[in-house]
Every structure is written in structure tokens, then in C-alpha cells.
Amino acid sequence: MRWLYSAILYALTPLVLLRLLYRSRRAPDYRRRWAERFGFFPQKLANSIWVHAVSVGEVQAALPMLRALRVRHPNIPLVVTTTTPTGLQRIKTAMGTDVISAHVPYDLPGAVRRFLRRVRPKVAIVMETELWPNLYHQCRVAHIPVIVANARLSERSSKGYRRIAKLVRATLQDVTLIAAQSAADQARFLSLGAPIERIQLIGNIKYDVALPADLFTKAVALRRGWSEGRAVLIAASTHAGEDEMVLAAFAELRQTFTDLLLVLVPRHPERFDVVAQLCQQRGYNVARRSEAAADLSGADVYLGDTLGDLMLLYAASDVAFVGGSLVPVGGHNVLEPAALGIPSITGPHMFNFAEVTAKLQAVGATDVIADESSLASRVAYWLQDLQQRQRASEAGKAVVKTNQGATDRLLVAIEKILKARD
């Protein structure tokens, strides 16, 4: 069945390139480095460690693992691939010259073979749910172990994969280790045909949030620039359609909290200008993080239009709305505000973080609302009740701390496979 899958991919390639060109109208980086997407890796390496993290969220989760691998294997090339330009920017900002970064090749047999011949990895570590039939098959042919790290599989994704069950089963047979986040993820991979002896329950490495030592000092300074004493709501990683909902809730909240500041952080950089214009059309003064000379004290909305600053913006806020959840995207990482002691609110579409959200909701650190109509009232609840906010803060941090350690367990599994290759 893989040959049919490959034929369809080859037929769709012109449309994929047209989509890249279309997206590049707002994000010019999509026009660059196309050769990498066809396997033309810029360097010729040997015995590298290759990590694939699809975009910013996966890169962020992988950073503790990447830093540990860099320390443990200082002389081995460490290659990180992503699918998006923002993923590449994040890894460059976080790791600099400690890694070699590139776009992952499309899952075309020729592109994958070309990439593997150039990179020649000792192991391939693929983050979360990236199941690519040709990539995994070519790794097996080349005797390259494949680890699916921090592996998760939502019920929704599992149902989708069952429609191509034969292809998925064959793909999972090519995996050396599936390091599952939870027992539910483990069971879903088993139901799709993954060999039981190749699945290990590791836990979720996203609990291992690394906080910079100077983060809170910087957050205090940032809040001082906004004018001390202002309440701050952050709406993080918002998608198209959510910004309007957030701004409607913000308008309602300002009737009670007249000096409330909204920190608005769109998920995708190509939407920064659009969202800024949307805020201005609603009559709000907008200060952009990218403009150092902006007057912060007079801003109604502070637009987080830079990459890599989300944790700082969370740390400087009182309450967080986590986006991708009022539209059916699947949500984003609620552990980040929890680790900082910030109560969070999400919409109902959190299927990518279902287990994490349930744990935080159970201790009162996260509210899950049914729709946008409840957003303003839940934010108001958190802003009005400092005591409850403090309880939620401690409860969220406790959940994060209790569930840490998955990165260390994952590293043990990686080292075992690397030693078997020596």
C-alpha cells in the first residue's frame, strides 16, 4: 500500500508547492530553503543524532532533551529538522550553533533517501505524532533506529488512522521504540498494530518545563513598563477566529476592570499584522513587542509579535487564555502557564492536551469553558479573587512538579539504543 501512498504524494507535490508559495505572501520564509524539503541537506555528516520536531511547540518540548544530548555527546553532530520556518527560528534562537537545523524532507522515497545519505544518523528521534511511512521504511532499510518520543495519539487521530489501518500498521512495524506519554496513548498505538514490546510508557516530557533563572526578574521589569498595578490578561497562541472572541471578552471586561491590559500573542507570525490591525479597528492603542520604542504605559493591547518570548509574557501576566481551543485546532500547552503559577482558561477543543488539561482542571488550575460566551466571566472570576488565584497557582505548579522526570527516562532509552549501535 505504500507505493499507492507515494504515488499520491508525488501527484500532490505541485499543489503542496503552490500552497507554500501562497503562504509565503504573508510569511516570506516559506519561499526559502525549498531544496531541503526534497532532501538536499546542506552538509554531509556521519553518525549524527537526528531529532525531528514539527514546529514551535514540539521544538520547545524537545529543548531539555536536546540540551542533554548536546552535553552527553559533544562531538556528535546534532541535527534538528522542523516543518515550519517558525520552528527553525525557534531552534536557532534556543540552541544557536549547538545544532544543525533544516526543514524535514517531504515523505517522498527519493527525498528521504537523499536526506538520510547526507545526514547518516545513528538514530532518528521523531517528536509526538509524526508517522511518515516512507521515512520510517527508509530508516529501517538503512538500519537506522526510529524512536517516536513523547508519543501521543488522541482518540480523534486514532480514528483517522484506522481508515488506512494497513499502511499505519506497516509504518509502526518500522519503529524501534514508541515512548508513550500516557497509558491511553499506549493503548491506542497498540490498537493500531504497534508491537507491544516496542512501546514503553515514559510520560510527558512537557512537564519538564525549564525556566530561565532570570525569567521572573525580567517579568517584573516588563510589568513595570506597563505601569505597576494593572491587571494583565494574556491570550496566548491564538488562531484565526479566536482573536475576535478574545477582543469581545476584553471589551466586556474593561467595563469592570477599566485599566486591564490584554497581552495578545497570535500563534503564527504571518498573522501579527492582521491581528494588530484588528485591535486598532476596535479602537485600542496597540504596543508591539517588536517595537522597542513603543509607549507601553498607554497601551490597551500589547501584541507579542516576537518568537521565543511566550514564557516571559506568561510570567508577567495574571490570568491566561490558551488558544487553539475555542476553534477545533486541539489546543496548546497549558503546562507552560501552570509551571509559572498562572491560572488558565481554555475552550473545549483540547484534544491534543486532553490528559494534561484534565489533571489541571481536577485541581482547579485550569478552567475549561464550553464556548466564548463564558470567557469574560471566568477571567473576571480569577481577577477578582486573589486568594483563589493563589490556590490555583500552587495547585498548577504541584501538578507540574509531581509529573516531571519523563525527559530523564527518555534519555535512558535513547542512550540504550545508541550504545547498541556502537
Which residues touch 353 (CB under 8 Å, ≥6 apart)? 330, 331, 332, 333, 334
Give 3's pLDDT tier (boundaries 50, 70, 90): confident
pLDDT digits (tens, 9 = 90+) for 358-387: 999 999 999 999 998 899 999 999 999 999
pLDDT, position 247: 97
Cell of residue 229, nine digits = 498595578
> Residue 6: is its pLDDT beyond 70?
yes
Task: Examine the pLDDT at 315 and tell me if it is beyond 90.
Answer: yes
Residue 179 β-bridge partners: 200
Q: What is the pLDDT of residue 305?
A: 95
Residues whose CB falls within 8 Å of the CB of residue 116, separated by 6 or more in sequence, listed in order: 138, 139, 142, 144
Query: Mind listing the domains of the chain with CATH numbers?
Result: 2-208+404-421 (3.40.50.11720), 215-402 (3.40.50.2000)
In order, the DSSP letters of 166-197 are HHHHHHHHT-SEEEESSHHHHHHHHHTT--GG
Angle between helices 133-141 and 165-173 (to 10 degrees): 30
- The catalytically annotated residue of 36, 58, 128, 336 is 58
What is the rounded average pLDDT of the residues 194-201? 96
58 included as an active-site residue: yes
Query: What pLDDT is recorded for position 16?
Result: 87
List the Cα angle 59/75/91 in 5-degree steps.
15
Is the dihedral angle over the CA atoms 169, 132, 43, 48 positive or is it negative? negative
pLDDT at residue 292 above 80? no
What is the pLDDT confidence band of residue 166, given thresholds at 50, 70 and 90? very high
Neighbours of 280 (CB within 10 A): 13
Q: With pLDDT > 90 as the criterion, what percentage of the chain qualifies?
A: 86
pLDDT at 293: 66
pTM: 0.91
CA pair distance 207, 204, nearest whole angstrom:
6
Q: What is the pLDDT of residues 50-100, one digit of tens each?
A: 999 999 989 999 999 999 999 999 999 999 999 999 999 999 999 999 999
* Residues 330/154, Cβ–Cβ less than 8 Å: yes
Burial of 270 (0-12, 13-18, 19+ CB in 10 A): middle
| pLDDT of the residue at 294 | 67
C-alpha cell belonging to residue 99: 545544532
Residue bearing the bigger pLDDT, 27 or 155? 155
Which strands, in side-by-side order, build the sheet including 366-368? Answer: 286-288, 301-303, 261-266, 232-238, 319-322, 344-346, 366-368
Residues with Cβ within 8 Å of residue 355, at least 6 apart in sequence: 181, 182, 184, 204
Confidence category of residue 29, pLDDT binned at 50, 70, 90: confident
**Average pLDDT value over all residues in the chain:** 94
Q: Tell me if 308 sits within 8 A of 92, measured CB to CB.
A: no
| Mean pLDDT (whole number) for 267-294 | 92
**Using one digit for the tens of pLDDT, what is the confidence trace for 207-220?**
998 898 999 999 99
